[in-house]
Amino acid sequence: MENFDSSENISSEENFHPVDAERSREKPPKEPKPRSFNFWRGLTTALGAAFIVATLFTLWMPGSLIESGLEARMAQALESASVEGAAPARTPDATAQAKSNRIGIVAGHYGSDSGAVCSNGLTEVEMNLKIATLAQKTLSDRGYQVDLLEENDTRLNGYQAALLVSIHLDSCEYVNDQATGFKVATALSVQNVANGQRLVSCLSSRYGEITALPYHAGSVTDDMTYYHAFNEIDPSTTAAIIEAGFMNMDYRFMTEETDKIAEGIAAGILCYMNNEAIQTNQGP
Ligand SMILES: [Zn+2]
């Protein structure tokens, strides 16, 4: 509703402009003095602007004959300033670099609750933690700074990293014979939608290749897309949640080849970090 009001305002203002323009075009002959005053003021402004632009070009044109000495001196001054003030001058760079090297992995339910529970007592949280720890090690070995986070970790508030991946598993109850495989989702309201989608593509393609688990189409739930951590982290942090498999149908694979699960997730993360090419011909 508010949008309609404001658009009406805009369009009605626009409708006034041509009328105003016509009026001002009619006025000048009647009032020559203000016109000439405006003309001279306009001319001075234009000349002033032209002078400034010309000066700027002279200053910054590479290889300028007149001011190359000044240019060199300025470059030198900047250089020496950054050397003298090395620590403060490099802080933003250092922060950006630390952020680009940082990866967050949430072990789903860790520090909070058990998640899904199997009849034999195996819990989702212990599996998630095992997978997250293995993935963390793989990525740390590659030189990344990897934070292993709890489900409700206080560090999630305003969390800044290249990416955040939360690991969960699906129910240990039998649903149907199609209840096998994984799914990945990103936040609906991320700052950079393309990055979120690329992270999803990377995770889906690498995880699928390494585990050979099917992509469980159509079961991305609101719990995933509206995942609480998506709203807590810094909006610049790309984030995704993976439901790495069904604890019922994929039980054997998960418990016997947990390392493959972790490897698949780590490979998906590396795919995103290294901006690797992804084959897009794989249907869900
Ligand atoms: Zn879960």
Residue 262 is assigned to a structural domain of this protein: yes
Under a CB-based contact definition with an 8 Å cutoff, are residues 241 and 168 in contact? yes
Q: Rounded to the nearest whole angstrom, what is the distance from the C-alpha of residue 53 to the centroid of ligand 1?
A: 60
Distance 241 CA to ligand 1 centre (A): 10
- Cα angle: 138, vertex 267, 219; to 5 degrees: 120
pLDDT digits (tens, 9 = 90+) for 66-97: 444 445 444 444 444 444 444 444 466 777 77
Ligand 1 centre distance from Cα of residue 216 (Å)? 16
Dihedral pair phi/psi, residue 146, rounded to 5°: -110, 120
Helices (H) and strands (E) in the chain, counts: 10, 5
Give the residue with greater pLDDT, 191 vs 120: 120
Q: How far apart are CA 63 and CA 235, in angstroms?
A: 42
Q: What is the pLDDT of residues 106-165, one digit of tens each?
A: 999 999 999 999 999 999 999 999 999 999 999 999 999 999 999 999 999 999 999 999
Q: How far apart are CA 268 and CA 246, in angstroms?
A: 19
Residues of the domain holding 192: 97-273
Q: Is residue 123 part of a domain?
A: yes
Q: Residue 275 C-alpha to ligand 1 middle, in angstroms?
A: 28
CA of 102 from ligand 1 middle (Å) equals 24
Which contiguous run of DSSP H or E holds residue 86? helix 86-100
Q: Residue 221: which CATH number? A: 3.40.630.40
User: Ligand 1: distance of its center to the CA of 190 in Å?
Assistant: 22
Would 47 be classed as within a structural domain? no
The answer to the question of residue 110 being in a domain is yes
